[in-house]
């Protein structure tokens, strides 16, 4: 069986460079922090680190700032229902990501110009729980790329091959990455 290469999306909420340093090259980093005011200088430090390490860097919920900082794109969470970002002139490389938990939200995200859809929750049994069968139902309603979100871990990552997805996203799954230990174990 061949290995499937999925896009990986890592959500971070802290201005901690150690969260990024040990990720595999090409892992997409999405900064989302809805509780505190954004620190533009620290965002620039994260952006520069991501560029050096080969990680695309996205900002959540603030398209204007993402454009100003020349980031790779913006992530629109499911509760973001505005269309203000469509008024800005976007570069061709600028990517709009968005999350949806229902067909109604999926249609809203299509109207917002989202190209990559984060659909949750695949494995984590919360109020947005879909499971594999209902997730497959979402595949019929979009021509964009789908990214699995919610509860993905070492125990169930092989189940992703059952789905027609472009990638997977998470928080705790990527936090486990650490520098290689030197010497005998």
Per residue in 17-64, pLDDT tens?
888 888 888 899 999 988 888 999 999 999 999 999 999 999 998 888
Which pLDDT band holds residue 98 (cuts at 50, 70, 90)?
very high
Is 185 within a domain?
A: no
Going from the C-alpha of 133 to that of each of 116, 121, 122, 136, the distances in angstroms are: 20, 12, 9, 5
Cα torsion at 168, 40, 90, 13 (round to 10°)? 10
Sign of torsion over alpha carbons 112, 20, 127, 155: positive
- Looking from the CA of 100 toward its CB, the CA atoms found within 13 Å total 27
Is 164 within a domain?
A: yes
The token duo for 167 is 């990638």
Element (H, E) at 29: strand 28-31
Please tell me whether residue 89 adopts helix, strand or coil conformation: coil
Token look-up 């997730």 returns 135
In this structure, what CATH number is given to the domain that contains residue 132? 3.20.20.70
- Looking from the CA of 116 toward its CB, the CA atoms found within 13 Å total 20
Is 52 within a domain?
A: yes
Average pLDDT over residues 63-74: 92
The token duo for 38 is 């954004």
Bin 87: left if φ > 0, else alpha if -120 < ψ < 50, else beta: alpha
Pick the residue with more confidence: 86 or 70? 70
Is 70 within a domain?
A: yes
Average pLDDT over residues 9-24: 87
Cα 53-78-150 angle, rounded to 5 deg: 60
Pick the residue with more confidence: 75 or 136? 75
CA–CA distance, 69 with 100 (Å, rounded to integer): 26
8 A C-beta contact, residue 116 and residue 109:
no
Q: Which residues contact 14 (CB under 8 A, 6 or more apart)?
A: 33
Pick the residue with more confidence: 4 or 148? 148
pLDDT of residue 42: 93
Q: Could you tell me the residue range of the domain that residue 138 belongs to?
A: 7-175
Longest Cα–Cα distance of the chain, Å, equals 57
Averaged pLDDT of the chain: 81
Is 180 within a domain?
A: no
Is 75 within a domain?
A: yes
Total domain count, the chain:
1
Is 35 within a domain?
A: yes
Is 138 within a domain?
A: yes
């Amino acid at each position: 069986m061949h290995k499937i290469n999925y896009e990986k999306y890592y959500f971070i909420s802290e201005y901690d460079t150690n969260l990024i340093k040990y990720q595999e090259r090409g892992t997409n980093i999405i900064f989302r922090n809805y509780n505190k005011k954004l620190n533009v200088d620290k965002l620039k430090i994260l952006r520069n680190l991501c560029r050096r390490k080969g990680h695309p860097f996205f900002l959540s919920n603030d398209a204007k700032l993402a454009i100003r900082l020349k980031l790779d794109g913006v992530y629109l969470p499911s509760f973001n229902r505005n269309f203000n970002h469509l008024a800005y002139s976007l570069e061709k490389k600028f990517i709009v990501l968005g999350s949806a938990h229902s067909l109604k939200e999926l249609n809203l995200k299509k109207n917002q110009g989202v190209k990559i859809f984060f659909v949750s929750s695949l494995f984590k049994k919360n109020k947005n729980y879909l499971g594999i069968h209902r997730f497959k139902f979402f595949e019929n309603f979009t021509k964009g790329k789908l990214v699995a979100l919610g509860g993905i871990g070492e125990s169930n990552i092989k189940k992703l091959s059952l789905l027609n997805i472009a990638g997977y996203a998470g928080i705790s799954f990527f936090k486990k990455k650490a520098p290689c230990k030197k010497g005998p174990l």
